[in-house]
């Protein structure tokens, strides 16, 4: 398939305007293909030639203004349209399109629980031509009108209200949309279970597979309540009303992303329909995703980026508003989860060689293949953090005035970074263009390292070393040890300071000084409240105080800033991993925020124990994790969320099967939760890694849980067995040239395959991995390439040999059989993490 370049897109946008797509989809042609008839009405502004994108199984016919086009002219997914006169044109394309098993285009899934089949589209970013003939670029927006033929018992959903056609069983018509981009076209079809309501005069719907009906029904009111509250809050802050005629949320199987913002029909991965016990944090994250996707109805759908260099105009805004609107509209306090989870994702991505500005320049995104690489922690978490800084600088009212100006000027059109910054500058009268150059056009995180000391005249002095040079509006938190309880601190004061931009933001180091009344505090937290985005350090006295008193800091965001600093110091080789573990042992049993407990345990039992420590100290680290988990369980009777986090950590850190086998046989954890299906699969997986079960027990559990979750759990467990035949079978399944595994089953198998405890058994697969992943990525496209590089990478092998093999793979150009861009990016990130782990080990 040819990759669309920015220059090609610009040329096509100058030549044509697209008015309307009329689509007719036939979903009754069997398991392999569906019928797709596309009629496109467009106008050429002058005589010329262009092309339409299409990736069919079979192209039956194509006519342009009644003139037949030769199907043989379709090459690399492009059908040439030559001899265009200035004026109106009509193109009709009749094709059979392939069903997808990778979540791209029209995905087809048969539920192993009951044999029912479900379909959904995923057209982002370049996969609309797998569904219909498209001028596939975001700035050629058009009205879409869709008709669908489906089995009579199915439900069909689309971007507009869907209705059955009278007297034509199985025939559906979807109401025409306002102008939207091709990547936002959505159809969902199958025997879905639906729960519906109405709010503010609009139909709202929730939809999931029938095997999830009871689970959806149980959570429906919670989901609708969050949806209604977020909808109302967006109408409080935006002048522009919700721009579509309905709001459906479909939870679909084997979805690659967390969710997709199709106008009027948001698709979510159906793991958000919880089948087992979850923590308060997991429910909160689901709420954030609901708010995030609703924000896209304005940022992305109403006003759309012109080209993919401005992904941040979609994702950074939806990320920021998802957290802020959920915070404003509900009882959730999601910014702590953002600080623990999302910002760590952003900081990690921003310190790799593959980092990029939040808003890269157009020349840095020359084609759609390179654009895919920017859907990462920088475009989401760092971009949202930058917007949070912008709000702190301008004030929320001014920020919202700028947004509303932006919507008014570009509704149902396209916009760029410059357009948005102009709107903010008009609303504020401040030099927002300079702010944008500093925050959005430069890569890498700033660093903030304080030194606090007593000064003259009963004042203390802060010397702050600021690396990176962006402007910051910061809060400093000053705390003193409680003289009556030396393991606690008392808040003294919070100070707001502004750091000016350096001469060249993104480079250099500056030192600034401030003085404050009184003696220096025992604990100074820079960026208290986590309002800015920077790597933070604590001075020596503050760190010493934090090690004794961390759990007593009154605000979970303050505690998160300190924990994030400690995590970053471990990753930079400045804090010994066991010092981090000792802090966790001391403070997590008294930590009240589930998300902090989960985040710290996840880092301790994951990268720290698995990669940053030498092999001979892993058992010692896991023993500490188990001790923390046991103390959490003992200290939190009745607290289901903490119990669940602790049990998950204990299972992952087990290095002997005895206790796990007792839990398995009892069907419950003593004093803790019953083993629901998710916990049963986690427990069985760890027992498989430790060699305490065999395939027969896995197969028996798969019969007990015959649905998609059980299918994935069984694949993971079978691949984890410490047996040469099991490993070879898993390898053949992952890299099978027939490509029979879906993305989800590939990922589950990869997660089971690579185990630190099984390095001797797995060593021979490391040199096989790089050529196998390269071939798989070439065959199966972006989503599988990313999974192969991220989940399939040989993580247990933190050694120079793996690094050398990976570097040799990356040295091969893609045109000479090297990795595709998606795999190349994933491998580059994995190898950078490997180098970091080797540096941490070397630091001792």
Residues belonging to the active site: 293
Residue 155 pairs in a beta bridge with 190
Q: With CA atoms as reference, report the closest residue to 311 among 404, 385, 375.
A: 375
Report the C-alpha dihedral over residues 327, 333, 336, 338, rounded to 10 degrees: -40
The whole-angstrom separation of Cα 754 and Cα 689 is 10
The whole-angstrom separation of Cα 164 and Cα 764 is 57
Residue 752 pairs in a beta bridge with none
For 170, the token pair is: 């199985």
- Which residue's structure tokens are 């459906």? 248
- Which residue's structure tokens are 């402007």? 471
Pairing assessment for the beta strands 162-164 and 171-174 based on DSSP bridges = antiparallel
Cα angle, residue 403 at apex, residues 402 and 408 outer, rounded to 5°: 100
Please give the helix or strand (H or E) that residue 242 lies within, else none: none
The whole-angstrom separation of Cα 537 and Cα 525 is 9
CA distances (Å), origin 749, targets 272, 653, 762: 21, 20, 14
The whole-angstrom separation of Cα 643 and Cα 817 is 49
The whole-angstrom separation of Cα 585 and Cα 569 is 18
Q: Taking a C-beta distance cutoff of 8 angstroms, is the pair 650, 686 a contact?
A: no
The whole-angstrom separation of Cα 820 and Cα 602 is 31
Q: Taking a C-beta distance cutoff of 8 angstroms, is the pair 667, 675 a contact?
A: yes
Q: How long a stretch of residues is the chain?
A: 844
Q: With CA atoms as reference, report the closest residue to 200 among 223, 216, 224.
A: 224
Please give the helix or strand (H or E) that residue 371 lies within, else none: helix 368-371
- Sequence-distant (6+) residues with CB within 8 A of 659 are none
Task: Extract long-range pairs of 630-634: CB within 8 Å, 24+ residues apart.
Answer: 631/588, 631/589, 632/588, 632/589, 632/597, 633/669, 633/671, 633/672, 634/671
- Which residue's structure tokens are 């339409």? 52
Q: Taking a C-beta distance cutoff of 8 angstroms, is the pair 524, 497 a contact?
A: no
- Which residue's structure tokens are 């308060």? 280
Report the C-alpha dihedral over residues 69, 73, 74, 79, rounded to 10 degrees: -60
The whole-angstrom separation of Cα 60 and Cα 68 is 11
Q: What is the DSSP string of 667-733?
A: TB-TTS-B--HHHHHHHHHHHHHTT-S-HHHHHHHHHHS-SHHHHHHHHHHHHHSS-HHHHHHHHHH
The whole-angstrom separation of Cα 134 and Cα 506 is 40
CA distances (Å), origin 441, targets 230, 379, 436, 790: 31, 12, 7, 27
Q: Which strands make up the sheet holding 446-454, listed edge to edge?
A: 509-517, 459-467, 446-454, 534-536
Cα angle, residue 176 at apex, residues 174 and 182 outer, rounded to 5°: 95
Please give the helix or strand (H or E) that residue 28 lies within, else none: none
Query: DSSP H helical segments within 5-123, as ranges?
Result: 6-15
For 498, the token pair is: 């502004």
Q: Taking a C-beta distance cutoff of 8 angstroms, is the pair 76, 2 a contact?
A: yes
Is it true that the peptide bond before 483 is cis, omega within 30 degrees of 0? no
Q: With CA atoms as reference, report the closest residue to 298 among 263, 268, 260.
A: 263
């Amino acid at each position: 398939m040819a990759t669309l370049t920015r220059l090609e897109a610009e040329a096509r946008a100058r030549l044509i305007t697209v008015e309307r797509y009329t689509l007719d989809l036939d979903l009754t042609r069997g398991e392999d293909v569906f019928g797709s008839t596309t009629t496109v009405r467009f106008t050429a502004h002058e005589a010329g030639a262009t092309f339409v994108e299409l990736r069919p199984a079979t192209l039956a016919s194509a006519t342009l203004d009644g003139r037949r086009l030769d199907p043989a002219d379709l090459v690399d997914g492009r059908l040439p349209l030559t001899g265009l006169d200035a004026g109106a044109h009509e193109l009709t394309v009749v094709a059979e399109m392939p069903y997808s098993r990778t979540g791209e285009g029209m995905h087809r899934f048969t539920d192993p629980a009951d044999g029912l089949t479900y379909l959904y589209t995923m057209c982002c970013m370049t996969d609309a031509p797998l569904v219909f003939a498209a001028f596939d670029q975001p700035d050629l927006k058009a009205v879409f009108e869709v008709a669908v033929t489906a089995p009579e018992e199915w439900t069909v959903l689309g971007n507009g209200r869907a209705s059955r056609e009278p007297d034509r069983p199985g025939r559906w018509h979807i109401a025409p949309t306002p102008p939207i981009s091709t990547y936002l076209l959505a159809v969902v079809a199958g025997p879905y279970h639906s729960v519906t309501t109405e709010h503010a005069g609009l139909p709202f719907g929730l939809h999931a597979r029938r095997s999830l009906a009871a689970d959806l029904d149980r959570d429906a009111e919670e989901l609708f309540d969050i949806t209604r509250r977020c909808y109302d809050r967006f109408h409080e802050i935006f002048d522009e009303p919700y721009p579509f005629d309905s709001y459906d949320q479909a939870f679909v199987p084997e979805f690659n992303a967390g969710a997709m913002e199709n106008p009027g029909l948001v698709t979510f991965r159906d793991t958000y329909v919880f089948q087992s016990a979850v923590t308060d944090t997991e429910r909160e994250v689901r709420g954030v995703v609901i708010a995030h996707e609703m924000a896209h109805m304005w940022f992305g759908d109403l006003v759309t980026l012109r080209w993919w260099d401005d992904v941040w105009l979609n994702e950074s805004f939806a990320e920021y508003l998802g957290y802020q609107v959920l915070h404003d509209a509900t009882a959730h306090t999601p910014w702590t989860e953002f600080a623990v989870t999302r910002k760590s994702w952003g900081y990690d991505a921003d310190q790799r060689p593959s980092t990029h500005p939040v808003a890269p320049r157009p020349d840095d995104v020359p084609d759609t293949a390179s654009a895919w690489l920017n859907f990462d922690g920088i475009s989401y978490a760092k971009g949202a953090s930058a917007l949070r800084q912008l709000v702190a600088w301008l004030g929320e009212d001014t920020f919202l005035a700028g947004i509303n100006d932006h919507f008014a000027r570009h509704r149902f059109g396209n916009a760029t970074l410059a357009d948005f910054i102009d709107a903010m500058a008009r609303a504020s009268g401040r030099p927002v263009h300079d702010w944008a150059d500093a925050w959005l056009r430069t890569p890498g995180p700033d660093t903030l390292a304080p030194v606090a000391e007593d000064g003259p005249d009963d004042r203390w002095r802060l010397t702050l070393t600021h690396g990176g040079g962006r402007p910051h509006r910061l809060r400093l938190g000053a705390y003193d040890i409680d003289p009556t309880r030396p393991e606690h601190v008392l808040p003294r004061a919070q100070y707001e300071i502004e750091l000016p931009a350096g001469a060249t933001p993104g480079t250099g180091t500056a030192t600034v000084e401030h003085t404050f009344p009184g003696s220096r505090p025992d604990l100074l937290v820079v960026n208290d409240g986590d309002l800015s985005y920077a790597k933070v350090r604590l001075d020596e006295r503050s760190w010493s105080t934090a090690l004794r008193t961390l759990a007593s800091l009154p605000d979970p965001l303050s505690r998160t800033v300190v924990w994030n600093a400690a995590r970053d110091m471990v990753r930079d080789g400045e804090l010994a991993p066991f010092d981090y573990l000792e802090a966790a042992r001391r403070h997590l049993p008294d930590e009240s925020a589930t998300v902090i407990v989960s985040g710290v345990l996840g880092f301790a039992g994951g990268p720290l124990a698995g990669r940053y420590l030498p092999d001979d100290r892993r058992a010692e680290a896991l023993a500490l994790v188990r001790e923390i988990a046991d103390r959490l369980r003992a200290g939190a009777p009745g607290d289901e969320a903490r119990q669940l986090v602790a049990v998950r950590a204990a299972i992952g850190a087990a290095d002997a099967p005895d206790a796990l086998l007792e839990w398995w046989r009892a069907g419950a954890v003593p004093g803790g939760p019953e083993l629901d299906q998710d916990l049963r699969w986690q427990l069985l997986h760890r027992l498989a890694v430790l060699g305490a079960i065999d395939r027969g027990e896995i197969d028996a559990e798969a019969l007990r849980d015959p649905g998609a979750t059980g299918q994935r759990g069984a694949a993971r467990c079978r691949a984890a067995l410490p047996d040469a035949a099991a490993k070879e079978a898993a390898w053949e399944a992952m890299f099978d040239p027939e490509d029979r595994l879906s993305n989800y089953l590939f990922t589950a198998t990869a997660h089971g395959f690579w185990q630190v405890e099984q390095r001797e058994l797995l060593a021979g697969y490391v040199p096989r991995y790089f050529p196998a992943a390269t071939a798989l990525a070439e065959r199966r496209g972006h989503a599988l390439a990313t999974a192969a590089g991220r989940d399939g990478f040989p993580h247990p092998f933190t050694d120079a040999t793996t690094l050398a093999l990976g570097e040799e793979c990356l040295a091969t150009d893609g045109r000479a059989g090297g990795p595709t861009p998606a795999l190349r990016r994933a491998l580059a990130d994995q190898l950078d993490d490997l180098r970091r782990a080797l540096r941490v080990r070397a630091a001792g």
